[in-house]
Amino acid sequence: MVTGAAIEKIEKTPDGFAVTARSNGGAARYESRALFLAIPAHAYGGLDFSFDFPLRPSFARIVYPPVAVVFFGYRTNPARIPLDGFGFLIPKKENRAILGTIWSSTIFPGRSPDGGIALTTFAGGSRQPEKALVPDGELIDSVRSELGDLMGIDARPDTVVVTRWEKAIPQYRVGHSRIVEAVERFESECPGIYVGGNFRGGISVSDCIQSAKALSERITANLADRERERAQG
């Protein structure tokens, strides 16, 4: 397995595909009978294909709004409500400055010390993209204010981590089904290449797992069919 490598070129070969990638100052060429692409749709514009890749215009239409993730850690629980669920999402009509908060220490073990809590809050998205781009101090104050109103938390967090995703979750807007149809058509016209990712089949972790499993099974079956055809001459 090679990670952290920059792809320089993707080519067709008599037996499949070749990918030239550079890492640690050196380039290497990897050949395979099948090629599974699982990068964000917006990243395809930077790939160099030696063959026609007609999906770029379709992928360029997929919108990825920014999201800011603000993590608060508390050594003692300051919440005035019971943390007996996964957290909460906020509907648009509430006109809040955040999208919702995951009670990380409730749903995942080891996220906080005994008696403490860990909260992960999201801001921005397609609803309020500008909220993800404000300075850290303003963003932290905004989240503290919202959690004060919604959870009764007055204490300052002991740990604060801000992470920003300039291009976060792909939006399935009107016409997205035509993009998926274009992907399916491309895969049928270019056997051996497969396109996955959270812009196809759902954005949640469970959706991505299910899509990846289905796609890997399809790849395995197609490779087996090709081997049988080759054996039969």
- Note the pLDDT tens digit of each residue in 3-12: 888 999 999 9
- Residue 51's CB: how many other CB atoms inside 10 A? 10
Q: What pLDDT is recorded for position 233?
A: 67
- Residues of the chain by 3-state class (helix, strand, coil), percent to 5: 35, 25, 40
Q: Tell me the β-bridge partners of 11.
A: 18
Q: What are the structural domains of the chain?
A: 6-62+175-231 (3.50.50.60), 67-165 (3.90.660.20)
29 contacts: CB under 8 Å, gap ≥ 6? 18, 19, 20
Return mean pLDDT, the chain. Answer: 94
Average pLDDT of the segment spanning 168-194? 95
Nearest to 162 by CA among 44, 67, 36, 97: 67
* Coil, strand or helix at 216: helix
d(CA 68, CA 162): 7
For the stretch 76-124, pLDDT in tens is 999 999 999 999 999 999 999 999 999 999 999 999 999 999 999 999 9
